[in-house]
Structure 1
Amino acid sequence: MFSIDEVSGEAMTILLVEDNDAHAELVIRGLRDQKMRSRICHVQDGEEALDYLFRRNQYEDPEKSPRPGLILLDLRLPKIDGLEVLKTIKTNEQMRAIPVVILTTSEADSDVKHAYMQYANSYLVKPVDFSNFNTLLSDLGFYWLGWNHRPN
């Protein structure tokens, strides 16, 4: 699945790698509420994420698959695991500077450790409470879309 949403403000492409449609919808809505312009591209598995990033298959056209300024990555993904996607991103010279935020339900110390060993830029555990989830997304959007400075 691939979807794009637009919100107002300075444009940044965000690649959301999330296999749970309900979680993806919450993330998209939460970021949309930030009132900062972004283009959210949603893919549902690790293989599709790498296809998007390396412009393979349906993502060959750079106009339809712009380089993301931020990747929100779930760990438990079909086809290719999130940690393997992270490793591939961070070992690629052209992609390693893209911030990757792990957004997952896993609180396992081993997952946190492995994510940071593969150079994750942040590790966030999805709260089960809807209000807390919205707060997390608000803070996430405000930081990465507002406060954080990134190279052009």
Structure 2
Amino acid sequence: MVPTKPQTATILLVEDNPGDAELAREALENSKFINQLHVAEDGVKAMAFLHRQEPYTDAPRPDIILLDLNLPKKDGREVLAEIKSDEKLKSIPVVILTSSKADEDVIRSYKLHANCYIAKPLDITRFFDVVNNIKEFWMSIVVLPHKGE
């Protein structure tokens, strides 16, 4: 199978760990894909971004969301449930990218309609590989929905 042409994508990374956010940013920016990456440090900020509330009134609609589960203020499970129950947001693919490998987190995430679940590797090189694989799959192989659908 020949991959389709790489897409330009707007990505919302919801990650409270500054180190992981920076590693993801580096991995996404050092690629052949032209990405617009936005980072929300907690679930409340993520939902404000998605609903274009202050201070995110000019925020673009993301093509894909990379979501950590263990977040302050509003955890990733709540964010996922909110996204997938909102008619305007539910078509946005949500990739769970978290440190948890717990069966209950995996099962609950899929029951809440996560598009995939990936446990973050602890090794930096492996983390870059995982982010690159996410990028390759979601931006080169998958056809993403048009903005606003």
2-structure distance, mates of 1:101, 1:66: 18
Q: 1:11: how far off?
A: 2.5
Q: 1:122 maps to which residue? A: 116
8 Å contact kept, 2:91–2:145: no
Helix, strand or coil: the match of 1:49?
A: helix
Distance 2:30 2:130 in 1: 12
Does residue 107 (structure 1) correspond to residue 104 (structure 2)? The answer is no
Aligned to 1:140, which of 134, 137, 142? 134
**Distance (Å, rounded) in 2 between the aligned partners of 1:150 and 1:19:** 26
Counterpart residue type for residue 135 of structure 1: D
Cα distance in 2 between the residues matched to 1:112 and 1:97: 20
Q: Alpha-carbon deviations, 1:2-46, whole Å to 9, x = none?
A: xxxxxxx74211000000000000101111122201100001000
User: Percent identity between the aligned chains?
Assistant: 43
Q: Which residue pairs with 1:83 in the alignment?
A: 77
Which stretches of structure 1, 4 residues or longer, exceed 6 Å deviation after superposition?
Answer: none
Say which structure, 1 or 2, has more relative contact order (CA 8 Å, 6+ apart): 2
1:39 aligned partner:
36
CA distance in 1, matches of 2:74, 2:145: 29
Q: Is the 8 A contact 1:16 1:42 kept in 2?
A: yes
Give unpaired runs (5+ residues) of structure 1: 1-8
Counterpart of 1:150, as a letter, is: L
CA-based RMSD: 1.0
Q: Which residue of structure 2 lines up, in the alignment, with residue 29 of structure 1? A: 26
Does the aligned pair in 2 maintain the 1:34–1:142 contact within 8 Å?
no
Question: What 5-or-longer segments of structure 2 have no aligned partner?
Answer: 1-5
**1:68 alignment partner AA:** P
